[in-house]
Amino acid sequence: MVRQPDPSTARAVIVGVENYVHLDPLPAVTNNVARLGELLRDPGLWGLADEHCRILLNPGSERDVLDAVHEAASEAAGFFLLYFAGHGLRDHTENLQLALPDTSKEHIYRALSYDRLRSVLLKACRADHKVIIIDSCFSGLAVGGMGSPDVADYAEVDGTFLLTSSAGTRISMAPVGARYTLFTGELLKVLEQGDPSADDLLDMDTIYRAVARALRAASGPAPQQRARNGGARITFVRNRAHIGPLRDSVFGPLPGGLPQGYHNLLHETVPGLLAQLELTAKEQADAALLVVAERWPEQQTAALLTELARVGRERQADVAVGAVVGRPAQEVAACLDVLEQLGAWQLIGALLKALIRTGPTAVARVAGKLREHGTTMAERLVRAALAEGGPAGSADLVTALYQRGLGDEALSELRTLMSGHPDPRYVGVADALLAGGATSSAYELYAELPVALATTRRPEDTARLLASMADNGARGRAVALLDSLLGVPGGTGAVHWALALHAVGLDWADEIARKELGTAAVDDVLRVLEQVRRSRPGELPTVVRWAIDDARSTADIVAFTTALREYGLPLDALRILTETADADLEKAAALISALRPGRDDEAAKLLARAYERPLRDRILFVTALRRHGADQDARPLLADVLARHSAADLLAELSLLSREIDLDDLLAHFAAAARGEHLGPLLFEYWESGRHADAERLLCSLTGDRLSLLAGTLEEFTAVRSSEPIQLGEPLVMYEERTRRAAQSRAWLATAVSRLGSDALVHLTEKVATTLPSGAASFSRQTPLGAVVAASTRRVPLPVLLALVEAHRERDAGLPHPTGMSPLLWVLGTALSSRADAQLLLSHLFEDRRHVLRIPDELRELMRTVPCEDAAHVYLVLARGGPLHPAALSGLGDRPDLPGVLARLHASGLSRGEALRIRRAGLRPWQYGVAVKVVMDLLEQTVGLYTVNVLTGAAGELEPHSLGELIGTLGIQRRVNDLDRVVASAAAQRGPLAQWLPDVLVVLRGARLDDLAARVIQKAVRCSPTSDAAAVVDGLREDGLCGEADLVEEANRHHRMTRWLHR
């Protein structure tokens, strides 16, 4: 914290040279020196004692100056000041020489060398702060002035602020006849008058800038300054602008007739002063006490106050307190700081009260200085001042505090004060803050006073405040304040707040007003309209719009617009009706119906707008008008639709037109141009609306010569209700209902299609089958259309199905079908895999002479070509009726993916014996899978021990059916040694024979490699325990492999005998 230097430890040397023997005289220097000394000694500015301020006017020699400077510099503890005014010269080394009375340009050595002066200062002066002011001049100027080199460049003393009158290349003016030199005159003016924009203490930088501004305004040379180690912040005088007018001289008459010992009183001790005051008359004692309390250092002043209170001199203590609060804010704060450290709380309270009485500005200044002290005294002062001022007196105080940077503290204390009783008058404080530019704090304070704003301000004024808050970046706070205002009991209603905000362009309360009016009874809304009519008639349409929400009945809307018409606003009423009608077709139709017959003109205008709507909207509007009983308006609108649009335009809206035009008329108008994309939605509309008879009539119309449209119509129908996954945000119950309705629509369609006759079914099954890639179709997974046709195939009577098979057989030129899947095979596969009477169907096919010759080949092709999962499914269906026909087994056995089919069948309970039958029925050449191919490729690339490793690894790792394929391949290639090694390794690595041998035998016997199978049995049994062989026999018999079981049993018996013989 910056403090004024203690005058008792400070020293000053003022040197001035007026009379020169060889240079021009400078008469203004005498006034410079005298006035500067007076100001330094004035207690109102600093109070330097006479003996501590040495003045040298026209010194005789350099030694006189250096001795005075040395003595004063040695004594200075905190602050030292040196001032020189006179001519300045430069020697041949460009060093500064300060001219003394007998100096001349020829005898420059008689001058005071600044280098020697600086050397003395460096060695002798231990003061923390040093200020050097040089007002020097050249001689021989035409208009009696001073010249100076750039002396700042010649003078650098550590910890010093150096101030010079001009630069080295400029002329410094000393006007002839002026009281002071130009530079020093401006310096004295700053000390005498102060700077209103500066703090309570003037620092050197502030003084320099003030002098520079003044010289620039007077067209004078610019002064120079150099500062070292914070020298710019050095202070030594008070700011006169903050402490009142300056006395002419401390040597003038003493105020109040003080005794002659006045000067001694200023230097008395506290006990000595009290003793002197005892001997002095009351008036003179009070005057002396005032002077002392105004001028003593803060610690002495605090000690004086404490002593006066201790000895019971309350009146004199009050006099001294009154004097202290008139001192600069810096000193008042310092005095309070000392009293706080002394614990003199009663005196602090008295001082704070006296300070508060001096006004908000003084309180703010002192509070600012107290905060610099780092104590809580600032908060205490602010709290006391706010409490004392109350709601009426807080505005100026808070404004002053904000100007001093104490806004946060002021607002915090004010909010604490308001928490107990938020007086509405505190709104004035917020107003003052807003006017003073403290917008953020003002907004915070407003937010604390919603009740006051709601009860003391017009809504329009508060709305403007909210708009201002939003414009200045406080939108969130403004919205929160509005919420509080809306919640004030008995305050302005939401509607009026919304209207007030509307006037300033804000819609923040619109939603609340809509909610309030949208659910209000009609009479309540009409009552609000009457109030608004009297205060804001221009806002009546806005209020009506707020009152009309989606749930409003047509009768309510008509009542509101009737009120507008009665208020003389028919155009606004029509506009609102038009807006409502344009937004909702249903409500538009209801309004037209409700407006007739009393307000036919408005109904006609709304209807006229409907004629300009898009085609789809007009058709929907016809339906809505009929629903609301306005048939007289619906009929001409429908006639206009049919007259103004071509059949091509109307086809896209057939489903909507079907609600207004019967099926026969629709077919008569649009049958020639209609396509599936038009008829599908129409069919669905009939079904959705429960007009199933019309739907079936429409389907029947698509048979015969219009059969080509049937498939496209069904595809469009199924697309309307296709099973889509649940949508994001869709409630589960809605998704389940949508799925249920889709299933219902497809079930109905399948039943309806099944009744269309064989020609339609032939067409549809051909369409479904031929559009699927060969080998990619699945009877269990269909397209939406395929699923419907498949369901129809399941539903048709058996004779119709047999006729369908015969019809497709006649249409097929041969097998396989050239594109997609054969329709015949698709029908057979669908029927055999899904009909409950599949066995009966087969019986008819094999017994009827029309089918008996072709069905074996067809069944073989079906089992060979359908997808894996469907082949397995058809087999299981057919197997339920007994042994399969050899043709079916042959087709299944010839499939390239037979292992996959068998795996599916095995999972469904297929025995190994049945698998063997399927394999042996096939006629395809020997094949092996990918795993065996990898092994064979490795064998081609290896020799010796590596071959053994490959075979051993394959024997232990391959799946059993792949192991059988490997053994079969090695046997076909007559690699007997490799074959025996694989079997032996499998027996050693794979565990019991029952876990792998049956599958291997199925593969080998299924490929008719019976001799190889016998060899594998003998080798495996020889390499396995006899108990394993006995166990596998039982398993083979259970799986229906009796022949293989006999071979294993014989090999095991022979193995036991040879083992006994070898013993």
At 486-504, the pLDDT tens digits run 888 766 778 888 888 878 8
Q: Is residue 922 scored above 80 in pLDDT?
A: no
Q: Closest Cα partner for 93 from 154, 136, 158?
A: 154
289 against 72, higher pLDDT? 72
896 against 10, higher pLDDT? 10
Residue with tokens 């054969």: 822
Backbone angles phi, psi at 509, to 5 degrees: -100, 5
Cα–Cα distance for residue pair 814/818, rounded to 1 Å:
9
Q: Give, to the nearest 10 degrees, the angle between helix 494-503 and helix 459-471.
A: 60
The string of pLDDT tens digits covering residues 946-980 is 888 888 888 888 888 888 888 989 888 898 898 88
Token duo for residue 296: 């003593």
Query: Residue range 410-425: average pLDDT?
Result: 78
H-assigned helices in 596-675: 600-610, 615-627, 631-644, 647-651, 654-657, 663-670
Contacts of residue 1007, defined as CB under 8 A and 6 or more positions apart, other chains included, come to 919, 926, 968
Residue 859's CB: how many other CB atoms inside 10 A?
Answer: 27
> Exposed, middle or buried, 175 (CB in 10 Å: 0-12/13-18/19+)?
middle
261 — pLDDT class (breaks 50, 70, 90)? low
Cα–Cα distance for residue pair 1042/1040, rounded to 1 Å:
6
pLDDT score, position 138? 42
The string of pLDDT tens digits covering residues 227-258 is 765 677 888 888 877 764 333 332 233 344 44
pLDDT score, position 835? 84
Largest CA distance in the chain: 160
Please state whether beta strands 201-203 and 112-113 pair in parallel, antiparallel, or not at all (unpaired).
Answer: unpaired
Q: Is residue 168 scored above 60 in pLDDT?
A: no
pLDDT score, position 1063? 39
CATH code for residues 11-240:
3.40.50.1460
Q: What one-character DSSP code corresponds to residue 8? A: T
Cα–Cα distance for residue pair 395/410, rounded to 1 Å:
11
Q: Give, to the nearest 10 degrees, the angle between helix 439-447 and helix 427-435.
A: 160
pLDDT score, position 794? 86
Cα–Cα distance for residue pair 806/76, rounded to 1 Å:
133
723 against 536, higher pLDDT? 536
Say how many CA atoms lie within 13 Å of 207 toward its Cβ: 33
pTM here is: 0.47
Query: Residue range 463-479: average pLDDT?
Result: 86
- C-alpha distances out from residue 1053 to 56, 1029, 1044, Å: 147, 10, 14
pLDDT score, position 66? 94
Highest mean pLDDT among 76-80, 391-395, 444-448, 849-853: 76-80
- C-alpha distances out from residue 606 to 547, 574, 601, 634, Å: 20, 9, 9, 13
Cα–Cα distance for residue pair 678/360, rounded to 1 Å:
86
Cα–Cα distance for residue pair 773/826, rounded to 1 Å:
12
H-assigned helices in 267-406: 270-278, 282-295, 298-310, 314-324, 329-342, 345-357, 360-373, 377-403
Query: Residue range 614-630: average pLDDT?
Result: 90
H-assigned helices in 438-548: 439-447, 450-456, 459-471, 475-486, 494-503, 510-518, 522-535, 540-547
Q: 514-518 long-range CB contacts below 8 Å, 24 or more apart?
A: 514/546, 514/549, 517/543, 517/546, 517/547, 518/546, 518/547, 518/548, 518/549, 518/551, 518/552
Across the chain, mean pLDDT equals 82
Residue with tokens 């409907």: 610
Please answer whether residues 31 and 179 qualify as being in contact, where contact means their C-beta atoms are separated by less than 8 angstroms: yes
Beta strands in 184-258 (DSSP E): 201-203, 224-227, 235-238
- C-alpha distances out from residue 457 to 441, 446, 449, 506, 900, Å: 19, 12, 11, 18, 87
Chain CA centroid to CA 635, Å: 55
Q: Is residue 446 scored above 90 in pLDDT?
A: no
- C-alpha distances out from residue 17 to 102, 220, 689, Å: 10, 22, 120
103 against 727, higher pLDDT? 103
DSSP 3-state assignment of 1012?
A: helix
Q: Which residues face 161 on adjacent strands?
A: 131, 227
Cα–Cα distance for residue pair 369/325, rounded to 1 Å:
13
Backbone angles phi, psi at 196, to 5 degrees: -60, -25
Residue with tokens 């018409």: 565
